[in-house]
Each structure stands twice: as C-alpha cells, then as structure tokens.
Amino acid sequence: MESVDLIIRNGWILTIDPEDTLVEKGAVAISADRIAAVGPESAVGARFLAAKTIDARGGIIMPGLVNTHTHAPMTLFRGLADDLPLMTWLNDYIFKAEGRYLNPETVYKATLLSCAEMLLSGTTTFCDGYFFEDSVAEAVQECGMRAILGQGIVDFPAPGVPEPDKNVAEALRFIRKWQGKTSLISPCLFCHSPYTCSEKTLREARYVADETGSLFQIHVAETITEVTQLRERHGLSPVKYLDRIGVLNPRTLVVHAIWVDQKDIACMARKKVGVSVATESQMKLASGVPPVPAFLNHGLDVGIGTDGCASNNNLDMFGEMGATARLHKVMSLDPTVLDARQVLRLATHGGARAIGLGDRIGSIEVGKKADLVIIDTYKPHLTPLYDPVSHLVYAASGSDVRDVIINGRLVVQDGRLLTIEIETVIDAVERLCREI
Amino acid sequence: MESVDLIIRNGWILTIDPEDTLVEKGAVAISADRIAAVGPESAVGARFLAAKTIDARGGIIMPGLVNTHTHAPMTLFRGLADDLPLMTWLNDYIFKAEGRYLNPETVYKATLLSCAEMLLSGTTTFCDGYFFEDSVAEAVQECGMRAILGQGIVDFPAPGVPEPDKNVAEALRFIRKWQGKTSLISPCLFCHSPYTCSEKTLREARYVADETGSLFQIHVAETITEVTQLRERHGLSPVKYLDRIGVLNPRTLVVHAIWVDQKDIACMARKKVGVSVATESQMKLASGVPPVPAFLNHGLDVGIGTDGCASNNNLDMFGEMGATARLHKVMSLDPTVLDARQVLRLATHGGARAIGLGDRIGSIEVGKKADLVIIDTYKPHLTPLYDPVSHLVYAASGSDVRDVIINGRLVVQDGRLLTIEIETVIDAVERLCREI
C-alpha cells in the first residue's frame, strides 16, 4: 500500500479529462498538492492508505471552478447602481466611487470578501484585473486561493497610479514582486482596452508580459461604440488593430469579444489567444452576446468569468454556467448548442487553458494540482440524480458546494470557510460601505 | 395594545404595494391568516402585542414569490434528458416517461418534492397544470402551500385520462372536488395548447372554467412551428384563433406567448388575459424570447414561472428573476429595460394578478393574506447591502431564504421545512427514479 495524505471517496467523479470520464462510485487520492490517483473507489482503496478520508456521501466530486474574468475588489460596489445606461453607470457611479473609496485597505478587505464568496461557491482559481493589485494578492494569499492577478493599466490617472506614464512600470514592479513568491499566485498585467490604452502603452505592456512570461489581459470588442471608435481611429476592428500592433499571442486573454466578425475570430484562432466571456454581466449591461459556439468551432480556448460585482452582481460560477448554456441556445434557436458537458468544460479545463494553466489545473487527472470541489446532492432541487453534469449546469447553485480543496489543502468544509473568519470580513466591508 | 399572533421585525420590508414602499427597519403584524399592519418597527411595536415574534436580523422581508407556471410532478424527470431537439426530447423521452411512470403515487411523491423545493426557495404560491391533479392537490395540502391547480386537457390519451373525449369532464370533476375544500387550493383547468386541443374541446373547457369561476390556462405561441401550424389550419395566429373561438377573457392565463405580434399583444390586452413567461425554460428549449417589455407597455398582467423541471431544471424563482431581468436587457441592447423593481413585481404581485389572486396575495398590505418570506442577507454574496431589491434580483438565490410564512403559518424556519419530512421525500423519489 502507498501512503497518501487524503482520499476523497464515495462520489460521482467528473474528471473533465480529454474523454470526459465519469466514475460513478469513485475516489481521488491526493499526495501533498497533487492528484495521485483517480478511479473506482475499490481500486483506489486497494492501492492507497490515506492519513485522512473525506466521504462525499454520494455527491459530486469535480475540478474546482475557474473564473476567468473578474475585478475582485468590486464587491465594494455590489448593487450600488444597476439598470442604468452604460456611460451613466460608469461615469456617475463606478468611476466616482472608485476614485473616492479605493485604497490598499478597502481593496484588501473587499478581496477577502470576494474570495470568501468564490470559495464557498466552488471557485478555486480566478483571473483578476484591477488596481492596488498588491492588496488583492495579499488577500488571496490569506484565503489560500489560486489566482492570476493583473495590475491594471490605463492611460489616465487611476487608483494608486496617479501618473499614467508610470502605469506599465507599476505593472512590472507588481509582477516582479509576486513572481515566484507563492505557487498559488501568478502575477500579470491587465490593459483596460484598446480604446483607453495607447499603442505605445499596449506595446510596452506586451513587452513586459513577454519578458516576464506572464499573461496579457485586455477587454476587447465589448461594445458597438468601441468598435466604431477603433474603426474611426485606426480603420480596423479592435481585434485586427491589436493584431497589427503585435499584441496578440498565445499568452493573451481576450475578454468579452462580443462584437467580432468571422475575420476577427479567424485571427484570434491563428494567434491562439485565450478568450473569456462573462455572460451574466454582458447581459445585464446589455453589451451583447459573444459568438461562443463559433469560438469553439475555431478551436479557441474559452473560459467563463463572472466579471466584477458591480455588474453581475455575484461571483457564482454555477449561475454563469446556467446562463451561458441557456443564452446561446435561445440566441441560435437551437437547444443542442453548448450542451451541459461543453459548458462544464468551459468553467473548468477550458478556462484553465484560456489563462495558461491548462496543464496544471481544470481536470482531475494524475499529476495535476489537487483543486477539487465536492457538491452535496442530497437536496430537493438536486433530486433525482440521473446525470450529474446536467445538475451542475442546470439545477445547482454555489450554495450546494460542501467542501473545497486547493493545492491539496482543505479550505471549505461542510460549507464553512477554514482560512479566514467570514463574520469579521462581512462586518468590515459593511462598515466601509456605509460611507459610500 | 391590540393582540396579534405574530410580529416579524427588524428587516427591510419590500411591500410591493402600488408605491413600492420600502420600510428600512420595519415590522409586519399578522393576525390569523392576514396582515394586520406593516410599517416602521417602532410604530408596529407600539400598537401590537404579539404571541410570537420573529427577528429578521436585518434581512429582507418580502411577499412570498408566485410561480405562475409549472408542472410540479415533472421533478420526476429532472435532468433525464437535456440539450436535445425539442421533438426528440418530447417524443423519445418526456412523453414516453410520462406514459410509463405517471400514476397517482408517483405524481403525489414528486409533487411533495417540488413543494419542498419551492418552499425552501421562497415560493409560497404556484400555478400548476398536469395530470392526476388530485394527487398534486393532496401533496400541496400536506405541504401547506397556496396553489392554483389545473387538471390537464389534451385531445389524445393522457396519463389518467385514457379516453380523450372525457378530458373536459375529468377537469370538471376535479374542479368540483376541490372547489371550496381549502382556502389554499383553487382548482382550475389547463388546456395544453391550441394545436393539441380541438375547437370543441377548447370551447367546452372555456364553458366549464366560466361556469365554475376558475382559471383557464393554456400554452400559446410557444414555438414557430405552432404558429405555422395554426396559420395553416385556421388562417390565424394562435392568439387570434383563440380569440375568435371565444376563449380569451380576464380569467385566462396565456403561457409563453413568445411568437406574438403587435396585433396579438393588442388583442391580449383588450381581452385582459394574464400572461406567464418561463424565461429559463424558454431559453433552454430554445423556444424564443417573449416580448415582455411590450406586454407591460400594453398594461398586461405578467407573471414569471419556472416551467416544469424537465426543462428548467429547478424551481428557483430567484434564478428566474435574474434571467428575466438580464435576458430582456441584452435582447434590446438597453440596460434600463426591465429594472430590478419591475422584475421583483412580476415575481410577486404581477404574477398574483396574472393568475387572478392580485387582491389576496403578492404584496405586504393590510388585509392581505400573510404569505411572507424572510431573506438572510448576512452572507458574503449579499454584502454590502445598498439596495435590497438589487440583491434579490441580481445576487441572491433560493438558498438565501430563511423563513417562509403562508396564510399566517410558519412553514419554513431557519431553512428547515416544518410541514413535511424532507429526507423521506428525497429518498422516496430517488427510489422511484431508479427504475426510470
């Protein structure tokens, strides 16, 4: 018998491996931060002796969810302003609140809150872009989450970066500070968009990302207005413009990609960029519907993000899965588009690939990092259980998450967060927000 | 001091009265099955002495949610078949399973399960249409819910109604049996559609509904195929055809109403029918998007339903509110369409009006039936709290429901169902479904 640290047993295992293997009464063995074995409970039990065992009690064992796009500190502004025209919302509410209330302390506390919400709803990895990203990293570290964190870059005075001409240097400083510091945090940069960053800024940021081997994130083709502006300025679509100035390569995360045409999609596929959609936020802001089925047909790696809580207004990836599966069906009037299996893949391994972590996380396979979630299915709304994948996409919500393991460490147990004191965080953020 | 049975205090009260009054630190006094008072906690406390007090602990106190369209027993088929072309799904899976597995016992147990799910997620009233509706009524009665229950009518052999020419008579028998039996159940009938019921059947059903003073429910204009068929058969749209044969009047619930044109909408408004949409199911089946903003502009009473669990796949009205608010924004590319207040109204008083209960339920007003829900907002995903309405529509889920009161009776307390034993129901349905 081999010794391992942890065995999770007695669950439906959705591996999300290349064959979408489902093990009906399965077990996962975990040794330190890695998956040592996955298979039928009898086989795993015969081979391994575990220091600790978790009984999934017939529930679902799945890879941790990967949220490929958010602005974690924006939980500060959750529900502050909704149902407004985009520019009124941004200029009169969000930008004003950001300018007045963001500082290292508020960003830190709001990120603790976001991490708590994400962990309790089964997200183990997220990809972030914001300002005061050092504070985001500190909060993430405290919570024990995995994250790709991008320091924001924009060509006007921003929170923590009053002088725009130092924005790329600030991102470089952030990347150097956090690179290699902990295996859970990968620092990177986040250019706001091709209409708020100059060509010079974008080229410099690309250079920094390539030199440091980090991800280059950018919002692209989010609104019709953006496309019109870019065409006027450069005679090109946002995607084509970014390609012309050399910004697109496989270490790029193109966020939104709503108003893209066939040529843009072909270009994105040629450059092998990752894509993140953010279905619920895109619907709520009335930005539009990205052509996800076309992205997948072109072989692009696509992930799903929640976006920030000012526009979502939660960080529940189960809601995103359901909305994504349903929206593309009704848009195409075809109920076979984006089936539950495809959508679950987007929210796990697809997203992991899109942000460059596909070889480490996103599926339950031997050798991968042990980022896992156990779903409690003994509930009225998850009864009966014919097909666990269907339940995850169409019936479950984040509150059905029972246990969460990141890098081999148990961080949520029986719906209770183990890494931080949740009441302290809720009270602190509620106090901060009384001023806003 | 006046005596009352119950006071709920210390919450944000969303009354959904005609002025959408919000009371920040409010209380509701309940006497027997009715609301005796609503207002600031200090005022209510000074006037009433309560046998029992519930502390909402700063959460939200709202009217119980009204699910205006479902087929409760279809929880039996939750997740049995998804992502299929509509006709394959219906003919190869749903109709077959219904034919083989429906009987009074399975319908009764599945309805207990549905009621448990609805109660735990804050729905206090639902409008149903199915077969073996006596068993549905028995289960509803046992759970202590309020419901409008329609015995199904269709012109081919149906579960429990093998001879189609007795379908209207069977509905009449059902209505007579349940009318006046309990104040919580209003029996009625449910004609499947204008393409599966003949003109004779529809006219007879209308007559029975009018004679018994009960609601006439019908699926209308759900798919393009239906519209094409009706135009070929009758030279009219489904709405216009139903109007011509005299079926539309204020005691009618038109369900779906997706493929309707301006003339259809004007006709529906003239006849003052109620409308139920079912956003998530309509998206998942790729049926289409009903013109809800136009319905509201025409002054129609509109409610939101979940539809049955074979096509949703849950009964959570919070998910429906979020999906409805978001979908109509992105369809119109206008983020101001269907704001959170409007959508919360659809899910409460709007729905109550659409099914003919607007004078009894759907809002927290003196004299109305005491159907109330308390939401626990002390959670990461509901922090901070700037606007309770925003949270309900855009951030909450059914699992945030803490307490539920129906007709003055506490049926859910601290997330635990008081009227039936939930484990027994889950186990019974799981056992039944192992055969399917």
The answer as to whether B102 is a domain residue is: yes
The answer as to whether A435 is a domain residue is: no
Looking up tokens 């709503």 gives A258
Structure tokens at B166: 């007795």
The answer as to whether A427 is a domain residue is: no
Give the model's pLDDT for residue A221. 98
Give the model's pLDDT for residue A414. 98
The answer as to whether A303 is a domain residue is: yes
Q: How confident is the model at residue B90 (pLDDT cuts 50, 70, 90)?
A: confident
The pLDDT of residue B86 is above 90: no
Angstrom distance (rounded) from CA B338 to CA B293: 7
B379–chain A Cβ distance below 8 A for any pair: yes
Mean pLDDT for back-to-back runs of 10 residues, chain A (436 residues): 97 98 97 98 96 98 98 96 90 91 97 98 98 98 98 96 97 98 97 97 98 98 96 98 98 98 98 98 97 98 97 97 98 98 98 98 98 98 97 98 98 98 97 87
- Distance from chain centroid for Cα A350: 11
List alpha helices for B90-160, DSSP H.
95-101, 104-120, 133-143
B340–chain A Cβ distance below 8 A for any pair: yes
Contact A385, B430 (CB under 8 A): yes
Q: Which residue of B has its CA nearest to A379?
A: B426
Give the model's pLDDT for residue A367. 98
B162–chain A Cβ distance below 8 A for any pair: no
Q: How confident is the model at residue B285 (pLDDT cuts 50, 70, 90)?
A: very high
Structure tokens at B238: 């489904």
List Cβ neighbours of B114 (8 Å cut-off, separation of 6 or more).
Answer: A380, B70, B72, B73, B75, B309, B315
Window 180-239 of B, Cβ < 8 Å to A: 224
Q: How confident is the model at residue B66 (pLDDT cuts 50, 70, 90)?
A: very high
A98 with A140, same domain: the answer is yes
Angstrom distance (rounded) from CA A331 to CA A290: 11
| % pLDDT > 70, chain B | 100
Give the model's pLDDT for residue B286. 97
A248 with A394, same domain: the answer is no
Whether the predicted model's global pTM rises above the 0.90 cut: yes
B324: domain CATH number is: 3.20.20.140
The answer as to whether A212 is a domain residue is: yes
Return the beta strands (E) in B165-317 as ranges: 185-191, 216-220, 252-256, 274-277, 301-304
DSSP string, A38-97: EEEHHHHHHHEEEEEEEE-TT-EEEEPEEEEEE-GGGGGGTTSS-S--HHHIIIIIIHHH
Q: How many domains does chain A have?
A: 2
ipTM over 0.90: yes
Distance from CA of A422 to the nearest CA of B (A): 8
B29 with B122, same domain: the answer is no
DSSP state of B361: S
- Render pLDDT for A126-138 as a digit per residue (tens, 0 to 9): 999 999 999 999 9
B307–chain A Cβ distance below 8 A for any pair: no
Taking one residue from A and the other from B, the number of pairs with CB-CB distance under 8 angstroms is: 215
A158 with A74, same domain: the answer is yes
Interaxial angle between packed helices B199-212 and B167-178, expressed in degrees from 0 to 180 and rounded to the nearest 10: 10
Closest C-alpha to A110, from B395, B384, B389: B384
The answer as to whether A322 is a domain residue is: yes
Closest C-alpha to B337, from A378, A407, A286: A286
**Range of lowest pLDDT (B98-102, B129-133, B279-283, B376-380):** B98-102
A245 with A220, same domain: the answer is yes
Q: What does pLDDT average to over chain B?
A: 97
Radius of gyration of chain A measured on its C-alpha atoms: 21
A319–chain B Cβ distance below 8 A for any pair: yes
- Render pLDDT for B99-122 as a digit per residue (tens, 0 to 9): 999 999 999 999 999 999 999 999
- Render pLDDT for B183-231 as a digit per residue (tens, 0 to 9): 999 999 999 999 999 999 999 999 999 999 999 999 999 999 999 999 9
B396: domain CATH number is: 2.30.40.10
Distance from CA of B46 to the nearest CA of A (A): 29
A26 with A37, same domain: the answer is yes
A349 with A306, same domain: the answer is yes
A208 HSE (CA, 13 A, CB side):
27
Radius of gyration of chain B measured on its C-alpha atoms: 21
Contacts A280 to B, Cβ<8 Å: 322, 326
A292 with A326, same domain: the answer is yes
Secondary structure of residue B178 in the 3-state scheme = helix
Angstrom distance (rounded) from CA A356 to CA B401: 39
A261–chain B Cβ distance below 8 A for any pair: no
Secondary structure of residue B275 in the 3-state scheme = strand
The answer as to whether B433 is a domain residue is: no
- Render pLDDT for A55-69 as a digit per residue (tens, 0 to 9): 999 999 999 999 999
Give the model's pLDDT for residue B401. 98
**Range of lowest pLDDT (A432-436, B135-139, B339-343, B361-365):** A432-436
Q: Which range of residues forms the domain containing residue B18?
A: 2-63+362-416
List Cβ neighbours of A201 (8 Å cut-off, separation of 6 or more).
Answer: A153, A155, A167, A168, A191
Angstrom distance (rounded) from CA A331 to CA A319: 18
Distance from CA of A249 to the nearest CA of B (A): 30
Domain boundary among B354, B376, B400: B354
Residue contact B286–A432, C-beta within 8 A:
no
For A303, phi then psi, to 5°, come to -120, 170
Give the model's pLDDT for residue A434. 86
Q: How confident is the model at residue B13 (pLDDT cuts 50, 70, 90)?
A: very high
Structure tokens at A271: 């450059």
Give the model's pLDDT for residue B142. 98
Residue contact A283–B391, C-beta within 8 A:
no
- Render pLDDT for B312-357 as a digit per residue (tens, 0 to 9): 999 999 999 999 999 999 999 999 999 999 999 999 999 999 999 9
Task: Select from A80, A383, A390 the Cβ nearest to the Cβ of B113.
Answer: A383
A165 with A187, same domain: the answer is yes
DSSP state of A296: H
Window 76-135 of B, Cβ < 8 Å to A: 76, 78-80, 82-86, 89, 113-114, 116-117, 120-121
- Render pLDDT for B404-436 as a digit per residue (tens, 0 to 9): 999 999 999 999 999 999 999 999 999 998 887
Residue contact B433–A384, C-beta within 8 A:
yes
Rounded-to-10 torsion of CA B413, B414, B415, B421: -50
A111 with A245, same domain: the answer is yes
B161 with B270, same domain: the answer is yes
The answer as to whether B345 is a domain residue is: yes
Per-residue three-class SS string for A82-111: CCCCHHHHHHHHHHHHHHHHCCHHHHHHHH
Omega before residue A250 within 30° of 0, cis: no
List Cβ neighbours of B195 (8 Å cut-off, separation of 6 or more).
Answer: B226, B229, B230, B233, B238
Residue B173 region by backbone torsions, left for phi larger than 0, else alpha for psi between -120 and 50, else beta:
alpha
B396 with B274, same domain: the answer is no
